[in-house]
Amino acid sequence: MVDLRRRRRPERRVARYAWPAALTAAGLAWYGADSLRHRCESGHGYDLRGELDVRSEAFMRAAEALTGAPVSYGSEVELLINGDQIFPRYLGAIREARETVCLLTYVYWRGDIAHEVADALRDRARAGVECNVLIDAVGGMKLEREVLERMSDAGVRVSRFRPVKPYAVKRVRNRTHRKILVADGRVGFTGGVGIAEEWTGDAQDPDHWRDTHVRVTEPVVRSVFGAFAENWLEATGEVLAGPGYLPQLEREDGDGGGPMMVVRSSAGVGDSNVEALYYLAIAAARESLDLTAAYFVPRPSFIEALQDAAERGVRVRVLVLVPGSNTDKPPVWIAGRASYDELVAAGVEVYEYTPTMLHAKTMTVDGCWPAVGSANFDNRSFQLNDEATLCVSSVEFARRLSEQFERDLDVSERIEPARWADRGRSRRASEAAMKVARREL
């Protein structure tokens, strides 16, 4: 007699591994096809047809048409450098709120500042202010449960953005990288700062990071709020409306700090709004372009855009973080260095910031058009994350940002062409290897 159970065992063993193998193969096929698409589409950028001057209203109209971000007039903007300037204004806005507070962050980690922000929100919630806090589920993994519960118990409405779930594995890499605070719909903040001990102080040592943030007042705050409301809607299903969030704005016709716009972007097919905006600004540059990028891993089309700017006489200066203990993501730095050869050869000046971790994301074009936001100069910010960037047409604000850029250069090391060409084979090999992973960095 034949034992049928024994005959079935090999079949069961095959079936046990068939589904995982099929899913793995499907996943690799999808990723390979998407990677091929990305490589094919990333080889070229934009051609600017016609003349465009960043000093002109025509440039703002072009940026508005390209990104869909409305131009606002009558707002004031304040440049904030490092935690010693940022957090007093940040906490002050929360404590002075009378109706609503909306806070969105990628990073909410640990330290005294994490508790201070939570306590300020708790106190306003107890006073009857409607407080909404949205934290990216990946970026906020280090947040202490006790801090979270303290806010929730006081009535602060806290939600996580895109929690990691088995049925949504594909979107795990698509995060909200925006840093937004809006109080009463009248005062707003955005930039690069996270809520953690690393961002406190004045970049005085490797334990305290260098970053840039901005504080704005109405009416551009409505666009800052829009960046929050978009992510809040996805996370909670709620549309936030009413005068507490969207008050009647009073200074629509004033000059204020110059025409402004908040460009926000999200992952999708094709170029994102922030990516398109940066292409436009680089292509329109005539005299100077100063770029500060915490994570600088340009794809080929952006390398070409920077090269073209330098070759037509624009002084292009790029400030990035330095390797070593000051770098929180070494693979990103290594992949970024793979682009130095082409940039330096074209006359682009590349500098590495030495004192501490550089986390700022800014750009100034022709001394009159500055941008400050959450977007890095890499594929993750341009293609995968939700980002927000404030752009201002203002010689005065550009001057303030340029002064800080010069101070940063004073403590940075320039990549000299001759010295760079003599780097070792091991460095070249590591750069080439990480360049392959540029899409995810």
Pair (55, 144) in one structural domain: no
Pair (188, 223) in one structural domain: yes
Q: 70: cis peptide before it, omega within 30°?
A: no
pLDDT at 16 over 90: no
Structural domain includes residue 222 = yes
Structural domain includes residue 297 = yes
Q: Is the distance from CB of 45 to CB of 302 less than 8 angstroms?
A: yes
pLDDT at 9 over 70: no
Pair (232, 380) in one structural domain: no
pLDDT in tens, 349-388: 999 999 999 999 999 999 999 999 999 988 888 889 999 9
Torsion 113-114-116-121 (CA) sign: positive
Structural domain includes residue 127 = yes
Pair (287, 429) in one structural domain: yes
pLDDT at 77 over 90: yes
Domains of the chain: total: 2
Residue 36, C-beta contacts closer than 8 angstroms, at least 6 positions apart: none
What pLDDT is stored for residue 3 in this prediction? 52
pLDDT band at 428 (very low <50, low <70, confident <90, very high): low
pLDDT in tens, 51-63: 899 999 999 999 9
Total-model pTM: 0.86
Structural domain includes residue 105 = yes
Q: What amino acid is encoded at 326 in this protein?
A: N
Taking alpha carbons only, the member of 332, 321, 339, 342 closest to residue 437 is 332
Pair (82, 145) in one structural domain: yes
Pair (127, 230) in one structural domain: yes
pLDDT in tens, 118-142: 999 999 999 999 999 999 999 999 9
Query: What is the layout of strands, in order, in the sheet containing 315-321?
Result: 260-265, 387-392, 369-373, 361-365, 288-293, 315-321, 349-353, 412-414
Structural domain includes residue 325 = yes
Q: How many other CB atoms are found less than 10 A from the CB of residue 323?
A: 14
pLDDT band at 30 (very low <50, low <70, confident <90, very high): very low
pLDDT band at 226 (very low <50, low <70, confident <90, very high): very high
Ordered DSSP codes for 46-83: ----S---TTSHHHHHHHHHHH-PPPB-S--EEEEEHH
Pair (220, 277) in one structural domain: no
Q: Which structural domain range is residue 376 located in?
A: 47-67+257-440
Stretch 405-434: mean pLDDT: 75
Distance CA 368, CA 261 (A): 14
pLDDT band at 423 (very low <50, low <70, confident <90, very high): low
Which of 5-19, 78-92, 251-265 comes out lowest in average pLDDT? 5-19
Stretch 97-101: mean pLDDT: 98
Identify which has the larger pLDDT, 399 or 218.
Answer: 399
